Amino acid sequence: MSTVYLVGAGPGDPKLLTRRAYELITSAEIVVYDALVSPRIVELIPPTTRLYNVGKRYGAHSMKQPEINALLIELASEGASKIVRLKGGDPFVFAHGGEEMNVLREAGIRYEIVPGITAGLAAPAYFDIPVTHRAVSRSFTCLTAHSESGELPAFDWQALAKLGGTLIFYMGVRQIASISQALIEAGCSAATPAALVSRGTTPQQSLLARTLGEFTDPEEDFTAYTPALFVIGEVIRLSEGRTSRPLAGKKVIVTRARHQASSLQEALESEGAEALLLPTIELSSNEAIKAEVATHLSQLARYGWVFFTSPNAVEFFFAALHRAGLDARALSPCRIASLGPMTTAALEAQGIKPDFMPSEYHAKAFAREFVEQVSAPHDKPLLLPASALAHDDLAHLLQEAGCRCERLPLYTNSPIHYEAEELRATLASADYLTACSSSAVHHLVELLEQYQLTDLLRELPIAVLGEQTAGAVRSYGLDPQLIAPQATIPSLVGALIERLG
């Protein structure tokens, strides 16, 4: 028996999905979604889910409502048990939710309505605009400026002008001058605050705050701001153009590999920044030595210690372990060292608590403190799972200190190709660049060198995670403007807020 869930996806910020919405989009067999659903939310849907995009905006084909109704019925009759019909904002606010519900009812199909946060309330809120406020606004009215004919709907403008609360127009970017004119003619003061709130709750959000009188030019084109709300009322003064998200409007480049970018991306976005992903390398397991890796892993008892120097090393190590039919118990004869907090977190996610972590998170301190503090005779060699291309600082330092050290080149990294123009545009538009490892710095410089674009780095402030990465930046004659006090993502984002917020 099929159930169709009419689900609100909220206004854009994936953090504003309800728990029910999240549960449903991650467990449904089929998701049918609109143009308004933000790409960051679509990314949360597992790749195995059947997806129907029924609102391709710019493409030739955006499905008409009767076609969508028919599609829902057809899918339900095919027998999938969970079908999610996902809409921007709330499904019952200017979204044909009621119509789809009726169609499902008539066809005898089970359905459930899952409300979402509507843009009209959330988008102003992200600019510190409360839609009601004591002694300022006792009501808010949501309206649509859209009509089949393209004309302004026939509202009782006098009544709206008299209400004195907040007016929130959906789908109105083409009607802004007519709405403003109609309200002024109906008795609203031309000095009433009015604002265009565009792409609210997304990193691209913007607020254009003026007065009603300043929005009356019929020649002014606001279509580039869609989706946007036209909000009118005294409450707009409370915003003062501010937002409670300290990095709002800032663009920050993330150079981590794509599969690792998400924690930094999320941390930046939840502070309001736009994260520009610029991965420089792609990691893949080192197929050339697959058999050798499997042999090493089945003989871990030969090693006294296993040294993990990055979350990547942890990830590829455990992937290789699982591939070899083993699990974390294979590590039980060994002791474990971790280079820093991010590596430790990756180990802990695998159920492993490292036995040793240096007080400073770079190769020199790692080798020195290890030799000083770990008194056990180094009768057994150390195993160092790493990238095939990694700089060999640690292995050298350990060997110099008398430890026998075997590297296991578990994974390789290959550069990602970009067009010169794409690189130039990304770097030129950003407020900050972040680098979380020295290899990210080396790869970025190599990439830019190909196009003689390294000079762009002189104009762009660089934020790094830890001294080792700072050293890598300095090795190119550049100065990192910001070094996170601790080598962790929250510390890096905190430092950026202090600098930019």
Only one residue has tokens 């009015």, namely 194
| Residue 200 vs 279, nearer CB to ligand SAH | 200
Neighbours of 440 (CB within 10 A): 25
CA distance 405 to 384: 7
CA distance 378 to 355: 15
56 is catalytic: yes
Of 91, 97, 89, 123, nearest to 10 (Cα)? 89
| Residue 41 vs 427, nearer CB to ligand SAH | 41
221 is catalytic: no
Establish if 121 lies at the interface with ligand SAH (CB under 6 A). no
Query: Segment contacting ligand SAH (CB under 6 A): 193-201, 214-222, 304-312, 426-434?
Result: 193-201
Chain centroid, CA 90 distance in Å: 22
Establish if 197 lies at the interface with ligand SAH (CB under 6 A). yes
Q: Are 194 and 232 in contact (CB under 8 A)?
A: yes
The helix or strand, by DSSP H or E, that contains position 363, with its residue range, turns out to be: helix 363-373
Kindly state the smallest distance separating residue 97's Cβ from ligand SAH, in Å: 8
Binder of ligand SAH out of 33, 111, 127, 170 (CB under 6 A) = 170
Residues 267-296 that bind ligand SAH (CB under 6 A): none
Query: By beta-carbon distance, which residue lies closest to ligand SAH?
Result: 89
Kindly state the smallest distance separating residue 432's Cβ from ligand SAH, in Å: 25
Establish if 305 lies at the interface with ligand SAH (CB under 6 A). no
Binder of ligand SAH out of 21, 30, 41, 95 (CB under 6 A) = 95
What DSSP string describes 34-57? -TTS-HHHHTTS-TTSEEEE-B-S
| Residue 128 vs 360, nearer CB to ligand SAH | 128
Establish if 127 lies at the interface with ligand SAH (CB under 6 A). no
What DSSP string describes 379-443? -SPEEEEEETT---HHHHHHHHTT--EEEEEEEEEEEPP--HHHHHHHHHH-SEEEE-SHHHHHH
Kindly state the smallest distance separating residue 117's Cβ from ligand SAH, in Å: 8
Establish if 118 lies at the interface with ligand SAH (CB under 6 A). yes
Kindly state the smallest distance separating residue 85's Cβ from ligand SAH, in Å: 12
Query: Which of 82, 128, 171, 380 does the annotation list as catalytic?
Result: 171
387 strand-pairing partners: 411
356 to 395: interface string for ligand SAH, x by CB under 6 A: ----------------------------------------
Instruction: Give the side-chain half-sphere CA count within 13 A for 412.
Output: 8
The phi and psi torsions of 462 (rounded to 5 degrees) equal -115, 130
Binder of ligand SAH out of 55, 89, 304, 494 (CB under 6 A) = 89
Where in the sequence numbering do the catalytic residues fall?
Answer: 34, 56, 171
For binding to ligand SAH (CB under 6 A), which residues are involved? 11-12, 36, 87-90, 93-95, 118-119, 123, 170-171, 197, 199-201, 227-229
